[in-house]
Amino acid sequence: MPPVTTSIKALIVDDENKACVNLKSLLLDYVDPELNILGMANSTREAEEMALKYTPDVLFLDIEMPNENAFGFLDRISPVSFEVIFVTAYDEYALRAFKLNAIDYILKPISIPELRNAYAKLKEKLSFKKLIAEQQMSYTDLSEQITSKAKGHKITLRGTNSLEVVEFADILFVEAQSSYSRIVFLKNGVEKELLLSHPLSEYEELLPDNVFCRIHRSYLVNTKHIKKISGDNANQVMMNNGLLIPISRRRYASLIEFLEAN
């Protein structure tokens, strides 16, 4: 069983064991000593078994192998969740490899700069996949919360590197920033904020409409945290934390009506 690690997980597949050992040494000695090499396979059947067992991030894959070449292998087990870096002695397959969205195509004998460059592209691709997955999870979370709006009094805010469960009552306001939203809230009495990848309209739908009021095209405020309406033309609200937030002219009357009703 490979060790548990947060590093990139890889399989090396080549019908020549010496080639597998050589590539493993190059990767660990010259590219990334933290790379988690799950195993070395000398056939596509072995590679398939290891891939199913260990779910690697990437296969370093030779093309010409007995019984089944790399393209037949990938076609047979498609779709795959891992990335592929081809490592081969044959240059005539490069176009076909890139049509399969391979990360890179490295010719033997292996050049260390080329191997490093391929690994850098791999890391960039894996980071992008992780970001997309996190955003998808975030949208799923929000959708589920909107669906079950009447059941709860908390919201889960999933930022890039953090996750916060916040009481509706502790949210001060939500500010639109292009297609994102900046949410300012209290956590254990401390003011915090997160920038999330959802438009303001989605939070307006989720948050209780007897507490939160849209006072501006860019602001949804928790009226329980409004201290007073101020400005020469009553064109802004002062929040309990002293922050001034603008009121749009067309929303002023509805805000007054909202405050009187609630």
CB contact at 8 A, 148 and 205: no
List of long-range contacts for 247-256, beta carbons under 8 Å, 24+ apart: 247/215, 247/216, 248/215, 248/216, 248/217, 251/214, 251/215, 251/216, 254/213, 255/213, 255/215, 255/229
**Residues 115-129: pLDDT tens digits?**
999 999 999 888 877
Q: Which residues contact 185 (CB under 8 A, 6 or more apart)?
A: 157, 164, 166, 170, 171, 172, 191, 192, 193, 194
Domains of the chain, by residue range, sit at 9-132, 148-261
Q: Say whether pLDDT at 163 is over 90.
A: no
Q: What is the pTM of this model?
A: 0.52
What CATH number matches the domain at 148-261, 3.40.50.300, 3.40.50.2000, 2.40.50.1020, 2.40.50.140? 2.40.50.1020
Q: Which pLDDT value is given to residue 7?
A: 86
CATH number of 9-132: 3.40.50.2300
- pLDDT tens readout for residues 172-184: 999 999 888 999 9
Segment 205-227, tens digit of pLDDT: 888 888 999 999 999 999 999 99
